[in-house]
Every structure is written in structure tokens, then in C-alpha cells.
Structure 1
Amino acid sequence: MLLAQGYTPLSGANLVRLMAHLSRWLEGLGLQAYELTNARIADFLLARQEAGYSNHLSRQGLEPILELLQTAGVVSALQQEPEASERDRLFHDYAEYLVQERGVVPMTVLKYESIARNFLSVCIGEDKLELSQLGASDVSSYIVRQSRQSSVNWTKYTVTALRSLLRFLYLRGELATDLVGAVGKVAAWRQTSLPKALPAEQVQRLLKSCDRRTHPGRRNFAVMLLLARFGLRAGEVAALELDDFHWAQGEVVIRGKGREDRLPLPCDVGEAVVAYIRRGRPQTSLRKLFLSNIAPLRAISGCAVSGIVRSLCANIPETLRPLKLV
């Protein structure tokens, strides 16, 4: 039938494989072919994209199969979606470029497209798609505005997405000038957002507020001492494992971003950790040092470490709620 309609053996074989994939997908959902709808077609195309297929990712590519099913009376005529606007066609092509040329995963494609839509809406408006109006000043002004409204990490993400979009528009011939160079780097000085450390006397008050007669109190006291003596981040404390403590050598291994430090273990810190292990830490096969106090037993997170500090600070009114201790 396909050959009779003018398809080559290769294109016909590709359509047969496409139909087989559609059949498997419907079967996996417990659906029959007659239950195919426009919404389910869109879901199938998305599933095909996520599965790593590089062809037949649009409704147009699926049309021959749909026509066969309609001719055979398997499905009723599916009304085509309204004709896509010039802007929608641009973003459809951009999404295909990201997947097929750049190997971008579907979730990132959606984020990049969202950023791209906002960028074009702000810079050239919602009416006509006059891409020739875009200039370097539009790009830099947009990034400055976004940096004032967003975190450093999100601004960096936006910059990466814009470079991708501008490269695509230039390769497509929509821009006479390559504007990628107009996208500057985002400055992110380390620790610029960290608050000042607490004075030593306030740290001592926080330590004294830990009720070491209880299991949670022993854990919290050990957590606070590690934060105070080593100046660790919450995530570094949460990452500590039993095997990181080398008691014979009096050392502890601290793992941070891309580094591993072996540090001398102060006596008071070692005593606090031992007290927690012996009389506060639940008996379990888990190797993380600090565990939750309630079931199900699990390692605490960096957020939980920050929560411990905040709860202790809340009990001392004149103490600020810090993210870092001396």
C-alpha cells in the first residue's frame, strides 16, 4: 500500500517502524488505536523524543500513518490543530535544533524555549516577529534586567540559553550579525552572599542550648561543633560518614566541591561525635554519620543541618539566624 502511494522502500520501512512504535506505545497505556486523539498524538511525539528518536518527531511526520488509520476506518478524522504562527514555527524549529544538533534533553529544551520566548517578547514584542530588529544592546539590556530579578545561578542559566538561541538564529539566517558575543559572562564572586559569622560568645550560647541529655541534643551539639570549629557548610556536615573519622590518627576527612581535605580532629569535636555515636545515633547499617531522629531512618540533608541551626537560634532572641559560623 505504501509503495503504491509513491513511498520508496526505505521511507516505507521507516513508516512501518513508526507504526510499530505507535502500536507499542498505545498497548503500554492500555489503549486501542480507535482511542487515538490529538492530545495523545502530542504525548506520543513527546515520548518518542524522550526515547531518543531523531526522526518523525512532529505531527507532520505522523500524518501518513494517521491517514492510513482513517482510511481503514480505525480512527475517525482527527481535526488538525490551527495553523501554527510564525513565532510557533520558529520555536518548533529551535526545539528540533536543540534535540538533533545539540543533543539537549527534553526538559532542558522546555526551559530554553521558555527563556527564548520571554526574551523575544521583551525585546521585539508579541506582534510581528521582526528578528532583524535585535541588536547587541537588546541582549545586554535584557541580561542586566534579568540579573536584577533572579539569582546568580538562574542568570547564568539564562545566559547559556540565550547563547544557544542567538547561535540558532544566526545559523538560520534570521540575524545578519552573530550576537553571541554580546552575551557577557555573569560575575559570581564566591561567598558574596554569605552573612557575617556569629561572634564566638553567641556560638557558645548556641552550643549550651543543646540539651545533651537527649538523643537529638547530642546530635545537634556535634553538628554545631563541626560547623563552628571547621567553618563547614551545611552540606559538608551532612555528607560526613562514619568512615571519614580516623580515630587512631586523630583526623577527619572533609569532602567539599571537587576537593577532599584531611584535617586534625579537635578533642572536643571528637568527644561530641563519639557521644552521639554511642548514646544518640540509632543502630543501623547506614554509614552516614548524622541521621534523622524519627522513622524512617535516613541521613539528614544540608537543609536539615541549616534547620538545626535555625531552630537553636530561634531560642536565643538576640542571635541572628546564620548560614555560617566561626
Structure 2
Amino acid sequence: MKITRNGAVTALPGCSGGGPLVSHLDRFATFLASEGYAATTVHVKCTLVAELSLWLKRHKVPLAKLDDQGLQQFHVGRRRRGVAQRGDVATTQQLLTFLRGIGCARVVSPPIDRSAVGKLTRDFEQFLRSERGLSPSTLINYLPIVRRFLTERFPGKTLRVAQLCPQDLHHFILGQVQRVSRTYAKLTVTALRSFLRFLLQRGAINTNLAAAVPGVAHWRLSHLPKSLPPEQVERLLEFCDRDTPVGQRDYAILLLLARLGLRAGEVVEMNLEDLDWEAGEILVRGKGQRLARLPLPREVGAALAHYLRHVRPMCSTRRVFIRSRAPQHGFASPVAVCDVVRRALQRAGLNPEFKGAHLLRHSLATELLRRGASLDEIGQLLRHQQPTTTQIYAKVDIVALRRIAPPWPGSAS
């Protein structure tokens, strides 16, 4: 096989037998090259596609009918012959997505749940999306909880939500809290309350059952925010390997977290048009789809400019930060940003109890408070919607707290 600089296939041994995929090999190879795959990887993937093409020809499967079931049969045969390789399934799925994108393979819609539970869940999803304006990640969290509740309450029965009572809610929540984390238990309560308000609004229930949903004990200000002292934050940045492209990208990410207190999801969602170089501002896409503009510090702007000019690959996505490995897309989730922080902590020899991206957000707020910033100013920088959210940082000033704390009964005066 010979591949040109742009990844096009000019010759592929073993493809003389043809098959319905032969005419698409060159275009698929060019697509893979545009996604950042190395020429050797493109060769391996296209060789597999050529084999699939011959398989389709032998089994008289037209390209328009190629689907996931057909790919599964192809891989079963390869495993039986002992020639299957790691990554083969991913390659054929990538091919199928590519073929559907150019209209050469049918797009199979996911099966629709026609049950009463499925219909009510879809109505609730539409309500959250259109009337509440909630993000897709919130929908992913809420909908399985509501579906589980309805399935457990009406197992194989007619869905009669008008019969719901507080005991049903208590029974479900008590069962949940015994097997999930406290954070997920709180999410369960929030999702149920939202669902019950939806039912009340559409007239499916006559009583505000949301008020009957018990809360989960998780005191808002019961802990100290986890943070790093300033010298450790600087050590974290100093040990970032800025001699490598990945290190230069990670350095820009860490500065956004440490100097502006951005959340991991806000870094992931950042687009090229969000950087206003003339005004020296950055548009932050925050929680609840709220937008905010923050000044872009010189240090952060310099790191971003260097990354964009010298490191970021040319690709179709508008996301600022791109994966280091092919396919060259934006980060899939905030977990990738948390991984950047964890790797940086390990390089710097730091081992705090909490290692997520929020560690640097807490560290920034804590240091600002120690420098004399007010809670209102910290809340504005962190874009808190409620003043009570910022109050947790009042607890980090231990010296001031000791001055106002009453003496322990029986202690020496």
C-alpha cells in the first residue's frame, strides 16, 4: 500500500478482488489523515477495510445494507480464524460512521421505547430541554433516575401516576441511598423533585408531591474546601513539561484553572471564537448555559497564544483544546481536564487528598481570601449565582475564626 502526504491510498495489495468498499478507500484514508492518524495507522485501518470489502462481496451484502449486525458477523469470523487485532471493531465502527456521513450506508435510528414509561420519560426530557433549558449532561443524569423510579413503582402494570403518594417516594429514595454515594443520592432527590413538578404542571397529579420528597443529609458548609498553598500551585505549573506539545497544551489548561478558577467543563467547552484578543477577554460558558466574560491575564493569554500558534493541530473542530492522539477532536468530557491535573500533581510530587480540576479553583479562592479579597469579589470571579455558595471559603481563615469562636466549656481561660 502506498499513501500520499495527505493520506490518500494509491495502491493496496489484496484489494484486486474488489468489493463494494474499494471505491471509497481513498476517501476514507484521506479522512483518517485529516483526523491526525499516522500513515502507518491509516495503512492498517485501510487494509482491514479492504478485507471487509471482500467479505461483503463473498456474502453478497450490498453496501447500503451494511450495519452493526453485519460488522459483528465479520468480526466473529476473524476471531475464529485467529486474525483479529485490537482496535479492529473500532475501525469498522469508524468506517460505518464515515459511510453514513457521506450517504453510502443507512442510518439506523435507535429503537424508540413505545411503552408508557418511555413516552412519559420522553415528554419529561422535552420539558427539561425546551422549557427549562437544561444541558444534555443534566438530561443524562436525570432521565435514568426517573425511568428507574417509574419502572420500580409500576412493574409491568398500567402507568397511573395519579396514584403516586409520599410513601412511594420515600421507599424509592431509601432504597437508593443504601447503595449509592451521598452525592448521587442528592441527585436522585433533585431529579425526582423536578419530575414531580413537571407532572403537577401538566395536570397528571393534583398534589405538589415535590414537597414530600425527603432531603439527603449533606450539609453545605460542613467541610473545608480542599486547596493547595500558593507555593504548591506554582510548583505544579513549574513542573509542567513545556518542551513537548502535550505539555504546552496542559500548561495553558492549568493556567486557566489556577488563574481564572475555571471549571473543567468550561475548559472543555471553550471555542476559538470565545477568545477576544483585542478586548483581552475570554467568554466562559458556565453552568446552566450562562455566559460570562472574564479579563484574560497576560500570562494566560501568552500560553494560549503559543498553544494556538505552534501546537494546536489544524482540524475542523472549533474547540480550543484538542486531544493529543487521533482522532483530533475536542475533549470528550471534563474527566480529560481532571486527568491533566492528576498528571501534573504526580509530576510535581504532590499528593493532596483531592486531585480533580476543582482543586485549583478552590486554591485560587482560598488565596484571594487570604490576600484580603471579599467574599463578594471571590463570588464574582468564580461566577457563583448564590452568595451562599461562596460562604464556604470563609472557613479557611482559621486565625479569624479562632478570634470569634467561644471558649470550650471547662477549658482554661
1:242 and 2:276 correspond:
no
* Structure 1: gaps spanning 5 or more residues: 1-28, 30-46, 52-56, 58-91, 122-133, 172-176
- TM superposition shift of 1:298: 0.8
Contact kept, 8 Å, 1:239 with 1:255, in 2: the verdict is yes
Q: Which amino acid aligns with 2:248?
A: R
**Residues 282 and 96 of structure 1: CA distance in aligned 2, closer, same or farther (over 3 Å):** closer
Q: How many Å separate the matches in 2 of 1:165 and 1:243? A: 40
Give me the TM-score of the superposition, normalised by structure 2: 0.44
Q: Which amino acid aligns with 1:312?
A: A
1:50 and 2:50 correspond:
no
Q: How many Å separate the matches in 1 of 2:143 and 2:346? A: 43
Q: How many Å separate the matches in 1 of 2:119 and 2:330? A: 42
**Residues 263 and 162 of structure 1: CA distance in aligned 2, closer, same or farther (over 3 Å):** closer
- TM superposition shift of 1:201: 1.5
Q: Deviations over 1:191-231 (max 9, x none)?
A: 98995222221111111111111111110100000000111
For 1:319, the equivalent position in structure 2 comes to 351
**Residues 139 and 289 of structure 1: CA distance in aligned 2, closer, same or farther (over 3 Å):** closer
1:251 and 2:273 correspond:
no
Larger Rg: 1
Q: How many Å separate the matches in 2 of 1:315 and 1:247? A: 32
1:295 and 2:329 correspond:
no
Once the two structures are superposed, the pairs formed by residues 1-326 of structure 1 within 5 Å of their partners are: 50=112, 95=117, 98=120, 112=146, 114-119=148-153, 136-137=166-167, 139-140=169-170, 142-147=172-177, 149-150=180-181, 151=184, 152-159=186-193, 180=209, 183-184=212-213, 186=215, 196-257=226-287, 258-301=289-332, 302-320=334-352, 321-324=355-358, 325=360, 326=364
Contact kept, 8 Å, 2:121 with 2:146, in 1: the verdict is no
Q: How many Å separate the matches in 1 of 2:221 and 2:268? A: 20
Q: Which amino acid aligns with 1:269?
A: V
Contact kept, 8 Å, 2:338 with 2:357, in 1: the verdict is yes
Q: Deviations over 1:45-92 (max 9, x none)?
A: xx9x939xxxxx7xxxxxxxxxxxxxxxxxxxxxxxxxxxxxxxxxx7
Measured on the aligned residues, the alpha-carbon RMSD in Å equals 4.6
Q: How many Å separate the matches in 1 of 2:176 and 2:322? A: 39
Contact kept, 8 Å, 2:256 with 2:262, in 1: the verdict is yes
Q: Which amino acid aligns with 1:211?
A: D
Q: How many Å separate the matches in 1 of 2:119 and 2:324? A: 50
Matched positions, count: 226
The residue matched to 1:253 in structure 2 has which SS?
strand
The residue matched to 1:50 in structure 2 has which SS?
coil
Q: How many Å separate the matches in 2 of 1:109 and 1:286? A: 29
Q: Deviations over 1:137-187 (max 9, x none)?
A: 5643542453453502233334556788999xx97xxxxx96936632657
Contact kept, 8 Å, 1:212 with 1:221, in 2: the verdict is yes
Q: Deviations over 1:102-159 (max 9, x none)?
A: 6778x999864542453579xxxxxxxxxxxx97456435424534535022333345
Q: Which amino acid aligns with 1:50?
A: I
Give me the TM-score of the superposition, normalised by structure 1: 0.54
**Residues 140 and 199 of structure 1: CA distance in aligned 2, closer, same or farther (over 3 Å):** same
Q: Which amino acid aligns with 1:157?
A: A
